[in-house]
Structure 1
Amino acid sequence: MEVSNTYYENAPIILSIIQYRYDKIEKFDINLVKELAKKFKSKYPIVNERFVQSIVVNNDNNETNVSLEDKQFDGIQVMSKNRKEYFTITETKFTYQSHEKYEGWENFITNAIEFWDDFSTSFDIKELNGVSLRYVNKIKLPLDIRDITKYFTTYLKDDKNTFSIGNFQFRFSSFDKENNFRINISHLLDTPVEEFVPYIFDIDVLHNNKVENTKEITLGLFEKIRTKKNQIFNDGITVETKKLIH
């Protein structure tokens, strides 16, 4: 079995997300969140309020009427200057996501925790409803690929027919009873580009049970989730794929 936290020099991670979930904050103070964001202004200078607006379609007297509902506040986003890293903070969720080159676990978790600690302390969040980690990997396969089984251990197969698959996408979920993790996995073979064939391997591991909101407990839980995520990734790729990303 592979070491669970194997490091890849050319890690194919194009999106990494960490999320904390909690009971609705009844007195969600927008100005307080903006004030907290000032501490991180040098790295995340853009602060925007988010709003959602629903479309209402009414069919009455053989006539269709379309209208827009009033805008509703849906949280705050705190972003880096290039908008590749940002926090999305709502009444029930705190999410950090990065599209930057993945520089390792310690760098990623530190970026998230610094802001989370200030936020959860200021809003007195004692308990969490769940946490999760999601990593989207983009692996560059050679243009002359003929057999997907050479690179991945999960694939589409039809023993009764012979045909060429130009691209595909499939998604499945599983449950780790021992750790109480829900795991969502997606595979996507995309359209070839000039130099390679893009393959997306998306792993989302969620823990949806209530836990006490302490740094010791949450960090320990994230380490378990990270280990599970890495196990799934390493078990899902072959030696040939590992050669591409080392």
Structure 2
Amino acid sequence: MAEYPFFKNAPIIEAVIDIRVKARDDLTVEQLDAIHDSILDQYPNKKARHKWEGRFEFKKGEPPISSGTEAIDGYIFTSVDQKQVFQARLDGFTFSRLKPYKTWEHLRDEAYKIWLRYKEITSPEITRVALRYINKIEIPLPIRDFSEYLNAAPIIPKGLPQGVSSFLTRVVIHEPVIDAFAIITHALEQIINPNILPIILDIDVFKQKSEGISEKDAWDILEKLRHFKNKIFFENITEKTKEIFQ
């Protein structure tokens, strides 16, 4: 398995571990709220997570009638320093680490520690495991071409003006060896600093199985998804981009 360098100035602005589960009819948000008691010192901040569901009703000869309901489907807990956030929901668990990113081991171990609390309350049946890294690559201006820094740079036909003020690309690929998918998004953010070109490289890798995934397999899958994510990241950037992160 390929080894990749560790960057002192990694461009990661958010790293996410997400585990989806089958919703249980007998599980309540009040039970999810009980998780807070065991992690109150480290995650003192709590707010409800709201889910909205819309519905359209059609009757012959009448205009459609829309209605909607809003309900709490979980809670969001935030650490003292506001750098770590986790969601405990009726349909899953999400753990996020915001900038500055530390290491994969820190992200994984902290998420697992909180997951154990979630598991005690919910006795979950896992159906989907995902890992998402959102990178903000700050390219120094001026540049001649995006391809200096990106291997999947946007291409403008030669007969058109070459000035690009915004772009957004999204592709979904399949990794057959581990039977996982990746959603890869490139976007040019609004330029605020005239000397910096901010590019978002958003990598969302996941594996799902309707028949369920065991807890042990879920965390083993996350390790494989991490290597898949790393390969995607390094295949998308050039040597010149790597110099920015040293």
What TM bracket, shorter-length normalisation? 0.7 to 0.9
For structure 1, the residue ranges without an aligned partner over 5 or more in a row are none
Please name the residue that 1:137 is paired with. Answer: 135
User: Residues 29, 74 of structure 1: CA spacing in aligned structure 2 closer, same or farther, 3 A cutoff?
Assistant: closer
Q: Trace 1:1-246 onto structure 2 (pairs within 5 A).
A: 3-53=2-52, 69-81=68-80, 83-125=82-124, 127-164=125-162, 165-194=164-193, 195-209=195-209, 210-214=212-216, 217-246=217-246
The total of aligned residue pairs comes to 241
Kindly state the Cα deviation for residue 48 of structure 1 after the two structures are TM-superposed: 2.1
Kindly state the Cα deviation for residue 80 of structure 1 after the two structures are TM-superposed: 2.1
Kindly state the Cα deviation for residue 84 of structure 1 after the two structures are TM-superposed: 4.0
Kindly state the Cα deviation for residue 178 of structure 1 after the two structures are TM-superposed: 1.4
Question: Which letter does structure 2 place at the counterpart of 1:204?
Answer: D
Give yes or no for contact 2:29–2:72 (8 Å, CA) kept in 1.
no
Tell me, in whole angstroms, the C-alpha distance in 1 between the residues paired with 2:68 and 2:165: 42
User: Residues 207, 54 of structure 1: CA spacing in aligned structure 2 closer, same or farther, 3 A cutoff?
Assistant: closer
For structure 2, the residue ranges without an aligned partner over 5 or more in a row are none
Q: TM-score if structure 2 supplies the norm length?
A: 0.87
Question: Which letter does structure 1 place at the counterpart of 2:213?
Answer: V
User: Residues 223, 70 of structure 1: CA spacing in aligned structure 2 closer, same or farther, 3 A cutoff?
Assistant: closer
Tell me, in whole angstroms, the C-alpha distance in 1 between the residues paired with 2:89 and 2:227: 28
Task: Select between 190-199 and 102-111 the one with higher mean Cα deviation.
Answer: 190-199
Deviations 1:52-72 (A, max 9, x none): 345678899xx9999863432
Question: Per the alignment, in what secondary structure is the counterpart of residue 71 of structure 1?
Answer: strand
User: Residues 20, 148 of structure 1: CA spacing in aligned structure 2 closer, same or farther, 3 A cutoff?
Assistant: same
Give yes or no for contact 1:55–1:66 (8 Å, CA) kept in 2.
no
Task: Select between 78-87 and 92-101 the one with higher mean Cα deviation.
Answer: 78-87
Deviations 1:161-211 (A, max 9, x none): 242212211111111111111110000122322231101001000111232
Give yes or no for contact 2:54–2:69 (8 Å, CA) kept in 1.
no
Tell me, in whole angstroms, the C-alpha distance in 2 between the residues paired with 1:240 and 1:177: 30
Give yes or no for contact 2:29–2:73 (8 Å, CA) kept in 1.
no
Tell me, in whole angstroms, the C-alpha distance in 2 between the residues paired with 1:83 and 1:26: 33
Tell me, in whole angstroms, the C-alpha distance in 1 between the residues paired with 2:69 and 2:152: 46
Tell me, in whole angstroms, the C-alpha distance in 1 between the residues paired with 2:223 and 2:155: 34
Question: Which letter does structure 2 place at the counterpart of 1:213?
Answer: E
Q: TM-score if structure 1 supplies the norm length?
A: 0.87
Tell me, in whole angstroms, the C-alpha distance in 1 between the residues paired with 2:21 and 2:66: 33
Give yes or no for contact 1:15–1:137 (8 Å, CA) kept in 2.
yes
Kindly state the Cα deviation for residue 82 of structure 1 after the two structures are TM-superposed: 5.2
Give yes or no for contact 2:88–2:118 (8 Å, CA) kept in 1.
no
Kindly state the Cα deviation for residue 107 of structure 1 after the two structures are TM-superposed: 1.0
Task: Select between 21-30 and 129-138 the one with higher mean Cα deviation.
Answer: 21-30
Tell me, in whole angstroms, the C-alpha distance in 2 between the residues paired with 1:66 and 1:142: 52
Give yes or no for contact 2:29–2:90 (8 Å, CA) kept in 1.
no
Tell me, in whole angstroms, the C-alpha distance in 2 between the residues paired with 1:233 and 1:46: 33
Task: Select between 141-150 and 189-198 the one with higher mean Cα deviation.
Answer: 189-198
Give yes or no for contact 1:13–1:102 (8 Å, CA) kept in 2.
yes
Give yes or no for contact 1:26–1:91 (8 Å, CA) kept in 2.
no
Task: Select between 101-110 and 50-59 the one with higher mean Cα deviation.
Answer: 50-59
